[in-house]
Amino acid sequence: MLETIAKINSAVNNIVWGWPALILLAFVGVFMTCRTKFFQISHFSHWMKQTIGSIFHKDVSAHTEDRSISQFQSLCTALAATVGTGNIVGVAGAIITGGPGAVFWMWLIAFFGMMTSYAENVLGIFYRRRNSVGEWSGGAMYYLRDGLGSKKGCKGLGMVLAVLFSVLCFLASFGIGNMTQINSISGNMKSVFSVPTWVTGLVIVILSGLVILGGLKRIASVTEKIVPFMVILYIAGSIAIFCLNISMIGPVFKAIFSRAFSLEAAAGGAAGTVMKLAIEQGMKRGVFSNEAGLGSSVMANSSSNVKEPVRQGMWGIFEVFADTIIVCTLTAFSVLSSGLVDLETGVTMAAYNGVELSGANLVGTVFSMHFGFVGAAFVAVSVMLFAFSTCLGWSHYGSKACEFLFGEKITKVYQVVFVLATFGGAVMGENLAWDIADTLNGMMMLPNLVGVLALSPVVIAITKNYVDRKLRGRDVEPMLSNFEDIQQEAAAAVKAGER
């Protein structure tokens, strides 16, 4: 049965993640970067100051009394879903399959993906609405329905794409946000601590149930405590390896760039295949890690108490920057400087000390080479925290998709099923879990990118409005919401000095 599922999924995966989809993903990022005049570079100091630089501002970190969450909580919930096993297992898998050159393509897709993420989050805030219990509901499904659907002759198309996105998000939450994450936890716990996968699965069911069934407020409360700790912890461990292998900076970066643009690739054959794999794996794992283009993190960011769409867009830029440019790069350097990858050929050793190397254990092996059992245990704990927090974040995404499709009352049923499904992820085969997640990622991406492209004039208008008001000091009416009641409420708050 599983073999049949794997074959069907492989065929669909090849179609979904073919070159047309990758080109579309890259095109949207390049297009939004050009249309915003390279906002991620030209306003680098501004968005850094308005994001991580404002982390202790009361409007950013203060807990809310209503059903919204703080900007810091929305950041942590979004990062919980993006900074996950893709940063460890995904990067390692990309290097094993695509060689060192895959890292370059991860960087490139992340650079342009910053503006895709920016556009998604601007639209998410601009088109969000409150549901019947006062909780913000936003995401690609809403800007597809209310944004694209408002264009002449596009009402039916907007609604169809909104429903399609929601269905795919609903399904993807069990893949990218559940199976792959819990599978990585159980695999690491078994290889490092010899804990049976079914035991890990049972524990995860209990822990995730305690958090997820408590709703967004409880998820946000947990992620704001886990995410900063796990990111700082993992970065510290990776920097330690960086310092130990600092002499490898030159060879590692040379391998990344030379394998990304292999001169022999022009002649085709094996070298051309290697370059193709590097591009495919770099882009796929880059998107899996930072989720720019999927429209997923918008659902967490839209739940924040932010008033300015552009401010949340800048948080979207920061999320991609932190996820891929910082965390994924440190993982890649740790692997490539370890000696387990031949930097000349790009080939990873098949085994080390009698243990077969795979994406699931490669980083753990690297850390154990430097720090012994403590290093392997460190990675196992990091993967556990990353994966568990990702599971929490994606449970919210799936809940919002379920709410859009079936109404708010059904979301509790979804949450129970999601929690129980974590057990299946713990005992599922590694390759099948990742392949299913890749397929669902690609399918979810397509309707979202159509919406971002179609609504790019709205993003540009909102961005120009913000720059005129905040950076050029012009007295113009702010563009804060597509809906008049929310526009007036938000405009009054902005005038009062709220962010």
Query: What residue type is assigned to position 436 of the chain?
Result: I
Question: What is the CATH classification number for the domain harbouring 410?
Answer: 1.20.1740
Q: Is 12 contained in some domain? A: no
Query: Is the pLDDT higher at 222 or at 368?
Result: 368
pLDDT of residue 429: 60
| pLDDT tops 50 at residue 266 | no
pLDDT of residue 355: 78
pLDDT of residue 496: 78
pLDDT of residue 10: 57
Q: Is 226 contained in some domain? A: yes
Angle at 25 between CA 448 and CA 183, to 5 degrees: 80
pLDDT of residue 124: 94
Contact 173, 156 (CB under 8 A): no
Q: Is 34 contained in some domain? A: no
Contact 369, 375 (CB under 8 A): yes
Q: Is 426 contained in some domain? A: yes
| CB atoms near residue 375 (< 10 Å) | 20
pLDDT of residue 9: 53
Angle at 351 between CA 350 and CA 357, to 5 degrees: 80
Domain count, the chain: 1
Domain carrying residue 192: 58-495
- Poorest-pLDDT segment among 122-136, 147-161, 189-203: 189-203
Per the structure block, which two tokens stand in for 445?
Answer: 């991406």
Pairing of strands 355-356, 129-130: unpaired
Q: Is 26 contained in some domain? A: no
- Its sign, for the CA torsion 367, 176, 182, 63, is positive
Q: Is 32 contained in some domain? A: no
Q: Residue 409 gets which letter from DSSP?
A: G
DSSP string, 50-83: HTGGGTTSHHHHSPPSSSSB-HHHHHHHHHHHHS
What is the average pLDDT across 177-204? 81
pLDDT of residue 99: 82
pLDDT, averaged across the chain: 81
Per the structure block, which two tokens stand in for 246?
Answer: 């600092």
What is the average pLDDT across 361-386? 84
Predicted TM-score (pTM) of this structure: 0.86
- Percent of the chain having pLDDT more than 70? 81
**Helix, strand, or coil (residue 461):** helix
Q: Residue 305 gets which letter from DSSP?
A: -
What is the average pLDDT across 425-441? 64
Kindly report, residue by residue over 235-262, the tens digit of the pLDDT.
Answer: 899 999 999 999 999 999 999 988 887 6
pLDDT of residue 141: 94
| pLDDT tops 80 at residue 46 | yes
Q: Is 50 contained in some domain? A: no
Q: Is 28 contained in some domain? A: no
